[in-house]
A and B are shown apart, each in its own frame.
Chain A
């Protein structure tokens, strides 16, 4: 036996059964003096839905572009499907599906031709393309619009077609950059439905969003990005447990003066673990709602409305970054 063979064998045994689909460490992207992504670490495993949550300009899209091999990293390490985008861009792009933030369907072509030609970009055989295109039109609920041009389609339809197009090459990994931004609530729910279906079928999804409900609904694990860095990571539940209290008391006031006075009083009374004064409400984070409500009742100017609710990712985001996502 050659020396070294047993070591290799034992190393293979101790390694996890499957390497991550994406591995990034100290991943950095700089444009001249501007740092878009500042040394982030994360891993995406096969079969999970992984989210990047953050405000506009937090570095989500730059990260996605590096994963999608259309933007070269400045520093750090990145592996996608076990390959380095440097030198393997073509191979990786052949095995992933990309749903960009901005619709870039081919407006000079019909719905059908959009799918057809996209398949050709992957150099797939024509009979395979036709078969898949039929299936994907069904999936995207666009079979009836097959021969229409793309322009007259609604925003939701265009998004569904963009997703269908991204599935033409049977990707091992699907990248979705703000998949539901700009859609009305009904179109969003329909789109989520399609994404759940993909997830159930075992697809690995990586998505960016600045909608907290979307992250909470779709993501198994997520990272919160703020100013080019990852500031928190975990499952939605774990993040809420770790960073927020069990419940939140939300108070609205008739005037901003009343709001400021109340926030100050609640803070001094230690009404909860943390008191946040926002543009139009005061949030009291608490693990003892009875105690907090007692303090609220004692306020000189009572609030116009009181809402007690469980903590959400929105609260986690606020706790960590000190801002709300829509600010």
Chain B
């Protein structure tokens, strides 16, 4: 962060607003302006907004229901057997949250950063780089939450939810979105051109396919299961699956911590990088 954004004594001319890195929920007023901006922009691009939700829903309809008819039940580690579509739905739910978060913080961010110079305009106002990073990540978390909520409603409609604990899936979706938004924003500050975004796809596709999304972890070879256990989407999938199937235990605090740390580290790196890039 540059010195222009150090903690400062305020003059009476400007109302004091929080601008430091604050936990989500304790947002200052200034990052909220960035959320308002994105809301205004998407009022005219609502079709674009739908895509991130439709994709996992289509997967649920085709793979969940279609493959479900072929394979019957899936035996979980707990010994419990559930229909395949019940097994796969929480995985796709986590994917919906991830998609919602990643789009605006990677591609969307880069277009505004590089071509629109939108952030240069923001930074000539009282907004600082931390406000920008917090605002964009919060927006992405909200977008992820909207997708997750819609997906959750679809799951209930299809009768794929087995426990009332499933209401916890919503905060979990926000946690997944936070982790991927923070990391996505940080990664995007290192991108030089659109070509570099292939690396993000390269990271996301295997996460989508191999995070115990479609098969239980026990079906994977030993070494692959070990790798999957430390990847980020797996944390989200296992958390969602646990609450949707009503399988809660203290061990779930580990993936929660993982996602919080991932999002926060990403957010901090992003704010620092934005300072270096936009306020040289």
Query: Among A31, A108, A122, A169, which residue has its beta carbon within 8 angstroms of that of B280?
Result: A31
B36→A93 contact, CB < 8 A: no
Assess the B4–A70 pair: CB atoms within 8 A.
yes
Per-residue CB contact flags for chain B residues 18-29 toward chain A (1 = under 8 Å, else 0) read 010000000001
Please, which residue of chain A has its CB at the minimum distance from the CB of B41? Answer: A108
Find out whether the CB atom of B3 lies under 8 angstroms from the CB atom of A93: no
Please report the C-alpha to C-alpha distance between residue A95 and residue B125 in the assembled complex, in whole angstroms: 9
Chain B hits for A216, CB < 8 A:
none
Q: A258-296: which residues lie under 8 A (CB-CB) from chain B? A: none
With both beta carbons as reference points, the residue of chain A lying nearest to B123 in the complex is identified as: A70
Q: Are B120 and A91 in contact (CB under 8 A)?
A: no
CB of A70 within 8 A of CB of B279, answer: yes
Of A10-18, A99-107, A189-197, A311-319, which binds chain B?
A99-107
Given contacts A94-B126, A108-B41, contact A123 B6 (CB under 8 A): no
A120 contacts which of B17, B36, B124, B128 (Cβ < 8 Å)?
Answer: B36
* A90:B5 contact, CB within 8 angstroms: yes
Q: Given the known A-B contacts A98-B124, A123-B29, are A90 and B19 also in contact in the complex, defined by CB atoms under 8 Å?
A: yes
User: Which residue of chain A has its CB nearest to the CB of B108?
Assistant: A108
Residues of A within 8 A of B116 (CB): 104, 106-108
- Complex-state Cα separation, A298 to B6, whole angstroms: 69
Interface pair B280/A104, CB less than 8 Å apart: no
Q: Is the CB of B4 within 8 A of A86?
A: yes
Contacts A87-B3, A100-B120; is A71 near B11 (CB within 8 Å)?
no
Instruction: Note all chain A residues with C-beta closer than 8 A to B222.
Output: none
Given A31-B280, A72-B2, the answer on whether A91 and B8 have CB atoms closer than 8 Å is: yes
Pair B280/A71 contact, Cβ less than 8 Å: yes
Query: Complex: how many Å from CA A117 to CA B41?
Result: 10
Q: How far is the CA of A109 from the CA of B33 in the complex (A)?
A: 14
A59 at the interface (CB under 8 A from B): no
**Residue in chain A with minimal CB distance to B17:** A123
Which residue in chain B gives the minimum CB-CB distance to A168? B125
Chain B residues with CB under 8 Å of A89's CB are: 3-5, 8, 128
Partner of B15, one of A87, A113, A123: A123
Q: A100 contacts which chain B residues (CB < 8 A)?
A: 117, 120-121, 124
**B45 on interface, CB distance cutoff 8 Å:** yes
> Does chain B have a CB within 8 A of A68?
yes
Tell me the chain A residues, 31-45 only, with Cβ under 8 Å from chain B.
31
Nearest chain A CB to B128's CB is how many angstroms away? Answer: 6
Residues of B contacting A88 with CB < 8 Å? Answer: 8-9, 11
- Shortest Cβ gap from A91 to chain B (Å): 5
Contact A113 B33, CB 8 Å, known A93-B125, A106-B118: no
**B230 contacts A by Cβ under 8 Å:** no
Given contacts A89-B128, A100-B121, A108-B41, whether A94 and B3 have CB atoms under 8 Å apart is no
A106 to B19, CA, bound (A): 23
Q: Which chain A residue lies CB-closest to B8? A: A87
Mark out the residues of chain B between 9 and 57 whose CB falls within 8 Å of any chain A CB in the assembled complex.
9-11, 13-15, 17, 19, 29-30, 33, 36-37, 40-41, 44-45
| Distance in Å: Cβ of B15 to nearest Cβ of chain A | 7
Q: Assuming the A-B contacts A104-B116, A117-B36, A121-B127, are A91 and B4 also in contact, with contact meaning beta carbons closer than 8 angstroms in the complex?
A: no
**A118 touches B (CB below 8 Å):** yes
Task: Give the residues in chain B near A306, CB-CB below 8 Å.
Answer: none
Q: Which residues of A contact B200 (CB under 8 A)?
A: none
**Are A72 and B279 interface neighbours, CB within 8 A?**
yes
> How many whole Å from A64's CB to the nearest CB in chain B?
10
Instruction: Give the CA-CA distance A123 to B128 in the complex, in Å.
Output: 13
B4 contacts A104, CB within 8 Å?
no
What chain B residues lie within 8 Å of A21 (beta carbons)? Answer: none
Alpha-carbon gap, A83 to B14, bound state (A): 13
Q: Is A116 an interface residue (CB 8 A)?
A: yes
Q: Is the CB of B117 within 8 A of A94?
A: no
Residues of B within 8 A of A103 (CB): 117
Q: Is A69 an interface residue (CB 8 A)?
A: yes
Q: Are A108 and B45 in contact (CB under 8 A)?
A: yes
- Are B125 and A70 in contact, with the CB atoms below 8 A? no
| Min C-beta distance of B47 to chain A, whole Å | 14
B104–chain A nearest beta-carbon distance, Å: 12
Instruction: Determine whether B278 belongs to the interface, using a CB cutoff of 8 Å to chain A.
Output: yes
* Most chain B beta-carbon neighbours within 10 Å: one of A91, A117, A121: A121
Is there contact, CB below 8 Å, between A120 and B280? no
- Is A51 part of the binding interface, using a Cβ–Cβ cutoff of 8 Å? no
Q: How far is the CB of A166 from chain B (nearest CB, A)?
A: 8
With A87-B3, A117-B40, A121-B33: A93-B8 Cβ-Cβ less than 8 Å: no
- Residue pairs across A and B with Cβ atoms less than 8 A apart, 25 shown, are A70-B4, A70-B278, A72-B2, A85-B4, A89-B3, A89-B4, A90-B5, A91-B14, A91-B126, A93-B124, A93-B125, A94-B14, A94-B125, A94-B126, A100-B120, A104-B120, A106-B41, A106-B118, A107-B116, A108-B118, A109-B37, A117-B37, A117-B40, A121-B33, A123-B29
Identify 18 new A-B residue pairs, CB closer than 8 A, beyond the known A72-B279, A90-B10.
A70-B120, A70-B278, A70-B279, A72-B2, A87-B3, A89-B5, A90-B8, A90-B14, A94-B13, A94-B14, A94-B126, A103-B117, A104-B116, A104-B117, A106-B121, A109-B40, A117-B40, A118-B121
